[in-house]
Amino acid sequence: MPDSKYFSTTNRGELFELKQLLNSQSSRSKREALKQIIASMTIGKDVSSLFTDVLNCMQTVDLELKKLVYLYLISYAKTQPDLAILAVNTFVKDASDPNPLIRTLALRTMGCIQLTRISEYLCEPLRRALKDADPYVRKTAAICVAKLYEVDPALVSEYGFISTLKELVLDSSPMVVANAIAALGEIDESLPGTLELKPNLVSGLIQCLNDCSEWGQVFIIDAVASYMPSGTEEAESIIERLLPRLYHANAAVVLSSMKVIVKNLKYVKSAEFSRMIQKKLGAPLVTLVSAEPEVQYVALRNINLLVRKYPEILQNEFKAFFCKYNDPPYIKEEKLEILVRLANDDNAPKIISECKEYASEVDVGFVRSSVQAIGRIALKIESAANNSVETLLELVRTRVVYVVQESLVVMKDIMRKYPNEFEGAIPVLCENLEALDEPNARASLVWIIGEYADRIENVVELVESFLDNFRDESIQVQQQLLTCTIKVYLKCNGSCKSSLERILNDGMKNSDNADLRERAFFYSRLLQANKEMANSVVLARKPRIVSTHEDLDESLLNTLLDEMGSLASVFHRSPHVFLASSKPLPQVSIMEDEWNEENAQVLSHDILDLSLSDKPQLGDASEASNKTSVDELFESSSGTASTKKPKEQNNDLLSLIDDLFSPAQSSSSVDHGDDLQKRMKLLLPSSKARGLEISGAFSAEQGGIQYVLKLRNESNEIIGENAIQFNKNLLGLIPARSKLDVVRINPNESVVCKVDLRYVSSEKDSRKGLLFQMALKNDVCGVIYFGDKLDESNLNIFLESESTGKLTKQAFLQEWSKIGSSDEVVKQFNVPAGVSLPNYFIEKLYPLKVFHVASSPSGQSYFSARLVGEICVLLEFRWADKDSNVQLASRCNSAKELVKLFERLIEKALGK
């Protein structure tokens, strides 16, 4: 009976019955039960409750039953890790079985389970299997090494499995060689340099292609693709030896071989040899086009890339890309694109005629693409322009609305490329005015009328027919109508003056669109100022357009050709876009270990909400029951403390001057360009950010704090739609808006943008220490994690000016007591001999925005500083007369790391 019976059961008590069958003594009953279980797994039923019963079936000599048990274990071992470990003894025993099939089965199953606890037991059987006498076991063992590396790279290094794999590359069995190359290639992605190719090895790999399976050939050819030939002769040799692979039945082998050949053509100096090889590439590509639609589409996308670089390869085979009636729409679109790229002086008439036939089909989207293709051929080949225009006019005469409208758009582009050459087409186009209902088509006809206003007899009537419903038109048409009316007025000696006045007034007074309104104002003032100048501006000669179709960047094209047969070549996107792992990328050293606490949970608001769900821990508010020296100071020494010393008065004067000339911020907080450039540091190299190099620094300007980002695009794609967000941090700073003011970053271009930061109390989290964790998102790289930190170079930016940073004595006392002695940090250091204290402290700390609060004759001085986010740092200095040793006691209502940062900064300043 066929196995389909296992998928059609409706028995409600099947799990109980299956349990009974699994515990029976009959191997046949067990097989039937396991087949039913596997079928249930396939259709999504949960049969994990049978894990123990299936496990008991492992001890059997029935190979089919053992295969079914192992298949079940692979699926459910991760959900039952504690029970799965019970199978290890059987695995190890089977790995030493005389039957190579059983040895292989045990090895493959252990490798597929990928549990660390089981992987430890895999190493010894794997070591033996890599040197097994049977090639089937060795080839399976080679793949198991790659699987083990995913789970525990350290075990692979400890047992020297990579060295053993390199030995297997020289194995006598081609299938072992192929699997060894595949495993080394997999490991090489995480550990570059693992797969080392030398001329002799490359030659040997190509030699064993004939005896490999088709997928083994793909692995080997892809490995050869990463090899750079030493010269022309070696490149020619590789190409000639791979040419027979182009006629393989498997499309993957053909595309991989094509990739290697095209890549090595760059190293060939002989133009004659290159032409000969290019002629041989055409037939295999045409063969791929006759495959099933899915394979055909992949082939066409790769051919699309190839003909951009080498159009001569298929110029004689262009008929192979004519669309068939039963081709899926996506195949037709790709074929049409390739036909346009293959068009030249000789075959253009035939391609245009074919596109004309396509324009009569029922698929509206494909009809539009066909009409556009005719126009693109006219723009590409000047000699084909007449034929294209005649064809387009024939299509216009069909009176099919969507054909007429698309033809008008295309005609506008052709008349821009070849001005004054196709004026005879204008009457035919104008006859279809009433049939136009799409903005793009109406705007195109209006442009043609304005451009050729002096050669159209009834131009005023045509313009008036549009103006009757001016307010109902789309903005695109309104803008074109405004320009068209100006052109008619200037070209036809004042004709259409009343219409011009009406449209200008309408645009200036009644339009809600800023672009239209500004254009109307501009034209109005231009005409009032100087009509001759208006002529030179409005009627200026326009540059000829080259193409209406966006093409790939040259560097991206070369990269994609090197990746033929991959997702990158199908989607025409840079390869690194598809290499993003499920986990965040490794962080740079500046992030230290604290940023490695799983970044995966940091996404929530609109684009990149990095706010975490937990509440920030506030500092403990301890009761100040015992009076400290500060209490004594404020109670007994108020007179002394209130008497300002000359230096302190000078500091107050400086503060007043700062407030006078820069009320929003202290002058020292303004970042100058040179200082900012010095502080700008590399946060993430392009190799870890999928082609985007990220540098940054904090800055303070115009009373606010910004984060200045420098982004350099080292990929081959245009990067757009950039947005940034911060995680919760010590200061509670987040971007004022997520979207960056960067429209696009071209390849090899650097841009600098400023991110305004704002304080949000709910975003404070003192547990993050001095780290600012950030994420940037764009349309090419996805989400990239990086970070910066608060340090001596940027601390001054976050400190507030004297007006808020200097606490009153009472506020200082309350905050000092509130923090408590348990969070006090004490440090001893020396000051230069002979200095006057506390004046020396006041002089040195004022530039750091650490302000003097009070002093005591008994050798005590108190200072305060305040950061963004209502964070206070309080300092107490104690010293003895004629002693250079000073004790600094620091308290902070936030993270202790901040106190240590202040201590380093102060010790450095006082030691100067």
pTM of the model: 0.64
Distance in angstroms (rounded) separating the CA atoms of residues 302 and 219: 19
CA distance to 151, 549, 682, 862, per residue, from 588 (Å): 23, 40, 9, 39
User: Does residue 420 come out as left (phi exceeding 0), alpha (psi in the -120 to 50 range) or beta?
Assistant: left
pLDDT value of residue 912:
56
Helix axes 293-309, 251-265, angle to 10 degrees: 10
Handedness of CA 215, 216, 220, 223 (dihedral sign): positive
Question: Residues 220-254: pLDDT tens digits?
Answer: 999 999 888 888 899 999 999 999 999 998 899 99
Q: Compute CA 606 distance to the chain's CA centroid, rounded to the nearest angstrom.
A: 17
Q: Tell me the C-alpha distance between 19 and 23, whole Å.
A: 6
DSSP string of 818-865, one letter each residue: HH-GGG-EEEEEE--TTPPTTHHHHHHHGGGT-EEEEEETTTEEEEEE
pLDDT of residue 895: 81
- Report pLDDT for 9: 52
Contact 566, 301 (CB under 8 A): no
Using the CB atoms, write b or e for 197-210: b if 16+ within 10 Å. Answer: beeebbeebbebbe
Asked if residues 128 and 95 have their Cβ atoms less than 8 Å apart, the reply is: yes
Domains, the chain, ordered by start? 3-227 (1.25.10.10), 459-539 (no CATH), 584-641+661-789 (2.60.40.1150), 799-911 (3.30.310.10)
Query: Which backbone phi and psi does 320 adopt, to 5 degrees?
Result: -65, -15
Length of the chain: 912
What per-residue confidence (pLDDT) applies to 350?
94
Strands (E), 392-464: none
Q: Quote the CA–CA distance of 824 and 670 in Å, as a whole number.
A: 32
Beta bridge partners of 682: 695
Residue in 563, 586, 564, 567 with CA at minimum distance from that of residue 577? 567
In the chain (912 residues long), the average pLDDT of successive 10-residue segments reads 53 68 78 81 78 78 81 79 77 85 87 79 87 91 90 86 90 91 88 85 90 90 89 90 91 92 90 90 89 91 91 88 91 93 92 92 91 92 92 90 91 88 86 83 89 82 82 87 87 79 85 87 86 83 69 82 88 76 36 36 35 32 38 40 38 35 36 66 82 89 84 85 88 88 86 89 84 87 86 86 86 88 84 84 88 88 88 89 82 85 84 64
| β-bridge partners, 872 | 866
How many Å apart are CA 680 and CA 708, to the nearest integer? 8
User: What tens digit of pLDDT does each residue of 272-296 get?
Assistant: 999 899 889 989 999 988 889 999 9
Instruction: Reduce the DSSP state of residue 782 to 3 states and report it.
Output: strand
pLDDT in tens, 647-679: 343 444 333 323 333 333 333 334 445 567 777
CB atoms within 10 A of CB 646: 8
* Beta carbons within 8 Å of 794's beta carbon, 6+ residues apart: 679, 697, 698
Long-range Cβ contact pairs of 129-136 (< 8 A, separation 24 or more): 129/95, 129/103, 130/161, 130/164, 130/165, 130/168, 131/164, 132/100, 132/103, 134/100, 134/103, 135/171, 135/172, 135/173, 135/175, 135/176, 136/100, 136/101, 136/104, 136/175
CA angle 23, 28, 29 (to 5 degrees): 40
SS in 3 state form for 86-104? HHHHHHHHHCCCCCHHHHH
Specify the pLDDT at position 590: 34
What is the spatial distance between Cα 856 and Cα 865, in angstroms, rounded to a whole number? 19
Q: Identify the three-state secondary structure at position 890.
A: strand
Residue 767's contacts (CB-CB under 8 Å, 6 or more residues apart) are 616, 617, 895
Say what the pLDDT of residue 579 is: 64
What DSSP designation does 573 have? -
